[in-house]
Amino acid sequence: MIFYDCSTAPNPRRARMFIAEKGLEIDTREISIAEGQQLSPDFLAVNPRATVPVLVTEDGTTLTENIAIATYLEAAYPDPPLMGTTPEEKGLVAMWNAIAEFQGGMAVAEAFRNAHPAMKGRALPGPLDLEQIPELAERGRARTAAFFDLLENRLSEAPWLAGDAFSLADISAFVFTDFARVIKMRPPENNAATQDWLARMRARPSASA
């Protein structure tokens, strides 16, 4: 297998943490987004949609999108389970992972990509060059604050996002929460349940993978 990574970006980090939690070692190639390597002819031959992470499996199947890489690895390497075991648990992991992505990841990305000078003309990942929209940066900040509230509410009722077990959903939410540093936002210090969860997340070896 070959894993195309980017050490500075949140989406590859989600896949990297998932791989580490599975205890897998995969041949890894670094694609520097800062240097625009995701738009190079060599990488576009791997993924014409110009996004990382990418996993190329043993049989040569190319998987882009975090959920695809996680779904493949969970099926091929079931232990430890990171996406639930019963139908209800599988549903809850998929749900909280999607919520983390839509309410958390997209909110931070909106705020970052529509305001940071380095992202000028790159307001979305992928092959289209899209101009920044300042109003969208502002909206992203409001949505990020709402995501921190949502996280605190949920973690006040369950130890991990999807319930009793650590899962893919925690990886996604943790990576996005941590990445919010690029827009200078952090969960409020008095969000006790979130701070406790963050400490448990940071203590996992995968957090520094």
Exactly one of 23, 61, 156, 209 binds a second copy (CB under 8 A); that residue is 61
Please count the other Cβ atoms lying within 10 Å of the Cβ belonging to residue 116.
14
Considering only 10-18, 60-68, 179-187, 200-208, which stretch makes contact with a second copy by CB under 8 A?
60-68
Query: The sheet that has 62-64: what strands, in order across it?
Result: 27-30, 2-5, 54-56, 62-64
Contact track, a second copy, 96-115, x by CB under 8 A: -xxx---x------------
CA distance 8 to 89: 31
CB nearer to a second copy: pick between 65 and 178? 65
CB nearer to a second copy: pick between 49 and 202? 49
Q: Distance between the two ends of the chain, CA-based, in angstroms?
A: 18
Q: Name residue, tokens 């899962």.
A: 167
Does residue 63 interact with a second copy by CB under 8 A?
yes
> At closest approach, how far in Å is the CB of 72 from a second copy?
3
Cα angle for residues 72, 96, 136 (degrees, 5° grid)? 105
> At closest approach, how far in Å is the CB of 36 from a second copy?
20
Considering only 8-16, 24-32, 130-138, 184-192, which stretch makes contact with a second copy by CB under 8 A?
130-138
Exactly one of 39, 81, 90, 178 binds a second copy (CB under 8 A); that residue is 90
CB nearer to a second copy: pick between 2 and 68? 68
Q: Name residue, tokens 């319930």.
A: 163
Does residue 75 interact with a second copy by CB under 8 A?
yes
CB nearer to a second copy: pick between 49 and 181? 49
Q: Are residues 171 and 17 in contact, defined by beta-carbon separation less than 8 angstroms?
A: yes
Q: Is 208 exposed, middle or buried (0-12, 13-18, 19+ CB in 10 A)?
A: exposed
Buried b (16+ CB within 10 A) or exposed e, 58-88: eeeeebbbbbbbbeebbeeeeeebbbbeeee
Binding site for a second copy (CB under 8 A): 49, 55, 57, 59, 61, 63-73, 75-76, 86-88, 90-95, 97-99, 103, 123-124, 126, 128, 130, 133, 135-136, 139, 142-143, 146, 150
